[in-house]
Amino acid sequence: MSEDDRQEGESSESAEAAEELEFAEAAGDDELSAEEQALFASYVFPEPSHRRISAVAFWTFGAALIVAWIALRSDPVVSVGALVGGITLVGAGVWFWSAGWHLRLDQGEALITATREAGFPVGHASALLGWRGVTARPTWRILLYSAETPPSRRGLVEIDATTGEVLGSYTGDNVEDW
């Protein structure tokens, strides 16, 4: 296959992809197949409270190591490492349990709260779930741009994902060149 044929094939593939995208945009959700709809489906952030399952596993294995050390400490096969490992796993379990917060505010509710807090009509926005402090308290960080093209204002809003409390709001003019 010559270089010209390869380039022609690539350009026809990109043209087909562009046509498919235009069709999908024009067709609306009703006419898209299940696979095509999955491409446009919204993402749901995982629930941090699932960490508590790991905490229980750590406690179980940690307790088993501690019991094994107590029962078999005179046996040369079981060393102090079993006790140290058991204590470490129990400690990790405590941290995982305390970091297993339940999200009371999902990404949609966080975007609505951030839009209210911003004080300007919002166009594009992006949500990030971050963590604060030793207990990894979940915090939404929402980046917002105004609805104009190009956006004249932008903002960052931080929201506690467990209480819905706005922790901070930082808005200003958009200084980016578009």
Residue by residue, DSSP assigns 50-116 as GHHHHHHHHHHHHHHHHHHHHHHTTSTTS-HHHHHHHHHHHHHHHHHHHT-PPPSS-HHHHHHHHHH
Q: For residue range 63-94, what is the model confidence (pLDDT) as tens digits?
A: 999 999 999 888 887 888 899 999 999 999 99
Q: For residue range 158-174, what is the model confidence (pLDDT) as tens digits?
A: 999 999 899 998 988 87
User: Per the confidence metrics, is the pTM higher than 0.95?
Assistant: no
